[in-house]
Amino acid sequence: MKSLLIMLMTTVLLLTACAPTFDKQEEVVQETEETNEKAIIPRYNISESYYRTILPFKPGEARGLVVRNLQTRLDITEFETGLMRIAQESFSSDQYFYQEGQKISKETIESWLNRKMSPAQLQEDNKKEAENLGLNPIFEYNANSEESYETQMSKSPIYLAHMLEHNYLIKNKDGKVELGGVVIGLALNSVQYFNLPDDQGGYPREVKIDTDVLKKEGKRIAEEVLARLRTMDELKNVPIVIALFEQEEISSIAPGNFIAKTGVINKGNRIDKWEDVNEEYHFFPSTAATNAYREDAVMFTNFKTDIDEFFPNYTGVIGRGFYKNEELYQLTIEIPMQFYGKAEVIGFTQFITGEVMEHFPDYFSLQVYVSSENGPESIIVRNAGEEEPFVHIYN
């Protein structure tokens, strides 16, 4: 009981320390090309890792396309949140405010995601060259070629899967908020999926696209995207950042990752410099994680072994590590359990908290989610650099 009281008191203190200051929300004017609109800046930012979002919330012009165009929910989440992470390197979250992309329409993005059409295809579809906006390469199957359909397709895959726009607003000297920067994410296919023609069986096929090839093609596409954005009046002189995201194959249990980015392009339509982005995900336990980061794999295994020894009714421990520049940046652990009462949840959470402090150093962020068939049971969170974690047990 004494241990439980101490833990609950610690939780209350941590919650008090993290509680927001409920100052009055700030009302500002948002300047656009057409009009000046009233907007609200939220009173509180829950974390430096997030941007405050201008209210009322405005859905993006291309809202919903990302769900249709990316392979997995993991890729969708990482593409969106990772793009914000990249944005923070150029547009700090304490000065800029987030808004979903408002400048590039859904119809425009859809047309850019198409394949480029050959003159013969344009004529066949009765289209003009001005409508030929696809950023993916031309594909014309030559039935008389000695190369198979699969070989021809593998030489001209669809590289660009999706394009995502983020707008970042900032206060000007008059106290109004205006567009201060745009970040564009280009999601690229690591695997090309297609079906053979009906006369060849119609079987599904897939072709792996090498990362170096993908990076080269992504940079080519980015140059064209930038040139097109600069033709839009509202984006002629706005700072723009472009990042390339390599989405994983459909069967992957880990999300894709960003592979390259530009710096801030203040003016003009040329990209002078690219930076490689060294990020990756690994799941624990797995052979891939052990081969890549053996010390981290051993650390996770020791944590898991202690749980095996003292709590035989758990159903498994799964970890997902996020690495930046080959260093563990964040570890998320999920522990599903079969519980028979709240006291057992409390005891197990106390045990896990101690194991977290014993096995995992504090140079990376850590989240542990304990759940049962009834839903979430408890959560343990420790940010990088903190000695003791925040613990919460759900009622």
Give the Cα separation of 186 and 160 in Å (integer).
7
The phi and psi torsions of 345 (rounded to 5 degrees) equal -60, -45
Six token digits for residue 155: 């030489």
Q: How far is CA 160 from CA 24, 188, 199, 248, in A?
A: 44, 5, 28, 13
Per-residue pLDDT at 264: 86
Per-residue pLDDT at 313: 67
The phi and psi torsions of 171 (rounded to 5 degrees) equal -75, 135
Per-residue pLDDT at 19: 41
pTM of this prediction?
0.84
Give the Cα separation of 75 and 248 in Å (integer).
7
Six token digits for residue 19: 């509680």
- Terminal-residue alpha carbon distance, the chain: 17
The phi and psi torsions of 135 (rounded to 5 degrees) equal -100, -10
Give the Cα separation of 113 and 159 in Å (integer).
9
Six token digits for residue 150: 């699969």
Contacts 24+ apart (CB under 8 A), 84-90: 84/50, 84/51, 84/166, 85/49, 86/183, 86/241, 86/243, 86/258, 86/261, 86/277, 87/51, 87/166, 87/168, 87/181, 87/183, 87/241, 88/49, 90/181, 90/183, 90/239, 90/241, 90/263, 90/264
Residue in 265, 261, 273, 271 with CA at minimum distance from that of residue 237: 265
Per-residue pLDDT at 22: 38
Per-residue pLDDT at 188: 97
Helices (H) and strands (E) in the chain, counts: 10, 17
Contact criterion met (CB below 8 Å) for 369 and 376: yes
Contact criterion met (CB below 8 Å) for 336 and 316: yes
Give the Cα separation of 163 and 108 in Å (integer).
10
Per-residue pLDDT at 108: 95
The single residue listed with the structure tokens 């241990």 is 3
Six token digits for residue 108: 């425009």
Give pLDDT tens digits along the chain (395 positions): 334 433 433 443 333 334 444 344 555 556 555 556 676 776 655 566 678 887 777 888 788 788 888 989 999 999 999 999 999 999 998 899 999 999 999 999 999 999 999 998 888 888 888 889 999 999 998 888 889 999 999 999 999 999 999 999 998 887 788 999 999 999 999 999 999 988 888 899 999 999 999 999 999 999 999 999 999 999 999 999 999 999 999 988 889 999 999 988 888 888 989 999 999 999 999 999 999 999 999 999 999 999 888 777 666 899 999 999 999 999 999 999 887 788 889 999 999 999 999 999 999 999 999 998 889 999 999 999 998 899 999 98
Per-residue pLDDT at 27: 52
